[in-house]
Amino acid sequence: MDQGTLSRLSALTENGKVNRALGRGQDGVEEVTAQALAEGHSPAAVLEALTAGMAVVGDRFAAGKAFVPNMLLAARAMSAGMALLKPFFDSGEVQRKGVFIIGTVFGDLHDIGKNLVAMAAEGAGWSVVDLGVDIQPEGFTAALDANPGAVVGLSALLTTTMGNMEPVIQAIRRARPDTRVIVGGAPLTREFADKIGADGYSSNPAGAVELLAGFAAEPSGGAL
């Protein structure tokens, strides 16, 4: 097996190269994922290569060296590879790290921050349930009913809607007290997150993925 194929896959993901059609005839993640599987690389190793490429962009984003287009392009490229891995997820040959439910809270229709975190989480190996925007507390609790044990992420962009996170967290606590809830959004601070009872706060997608990794290492019900 050619380890260079996996390195190339990471680099193509990082640089947002999707496929030959969008890449003016140059191979992208879609072709190289297929090549890696054909060479006999395990689906888990292929996933790791995709994740590594996405993580590079996420870290650069957190450091202010990459920007929204870079994240979107990398996530789109990664999705092309993930589509080829879907049968292995379905069969259980490749395990997700857990389920991550994410949505923008009610009253707020902004989605870019939520989308970036969802992409980063998926790229880090989580199964993502994206509820969309303007989600009432019942929307989150219903998603938890369908995915017990999931981690929940709440997003808000506006100072007028960040306060809506607290009733969502309260509803989640009433329905499933052990649920881990993380929050993020431009006007938020760690102090605000603590005040409303969130289990974690991040100002960027890479930080959110780190929080998720911590939860995966210490499943719900353990001390935080």
Partner 1 sequence: MLATLRGESADRIPNFNILMAYAARHIGRGMDEFCRDHRVLVEANLAANEVFGIDLLNTMSDAYRETADYGARIAFPKDALPVCQPLIAGPADMRLLKPFKIEDSSRMLDRLRAVELYKRKAGDEWPIMGWVEGCVAESADLMGLTGFALALYDEPEMVRDMMEICLETAVGCAQAQVRAGADIIGVGDAVASVLGPKVYDEWALPYEQRLFAEIHRCGAKGRLHICGDIGPLLDGIRVCGADIVDVDWMVDFKTAHDALRGAAIVCGNFDPVSVVLAGTPETVAAAVDECRDAVDDDCIIMAGCEIPRDTPAQNLAAVSQALERRGRPSAKP
Using CB under 8 A, list all residues that contact partner 1: 16, 22, 64, 66-70, 72-73, 76, 107, 109, 111-112, 115, 158-161, 163, 186-187, 189, 191-192
Of the pair 22, 34, the CB lying nearest partner 1 is at 22
Of the pair 153, 185, the CB lying nearest partner 1 is at 185
User: Distance between CA 165 and CA 163 in Å, rounded?
Assistant: 5
Of the pair 33, 115, the CB lying nearest partner 1 is at 115
Whether the CB-CB separation of 98 and 216 falls below 8 Å is answered with: yes
Q: Of 187, 177, 128, which is closest to residue 155 (Cα–Cα)? A: 187
* Exposed / middle / buried, residue 222 (Cβ in 10 Å: 0-12, 13-18, 19+): exposed
Tell me how far, at minimum, the Cβ of 22 lies from partner 1, in Å. 7
| E strands, the chain, in order | 99-105, 127-135, 151-155, 181-184, 200-201
Tell me how far, at minimum, the Cβ of 12 lies from partner 1, in Å. 15
Of the pair 78, 151, the CB lying nearest partner 1 is at 78
Tell me how far, at minimum, the Cβ of 112 lies from partner 1, in Å. 5
Q: Of 65, 53, 45, 70, which is closest to residue 13 (Cα–Cα)? A: 53
Tell me how far, at minimum, the Cβ of 181 lies from partner 1, in Å. 20
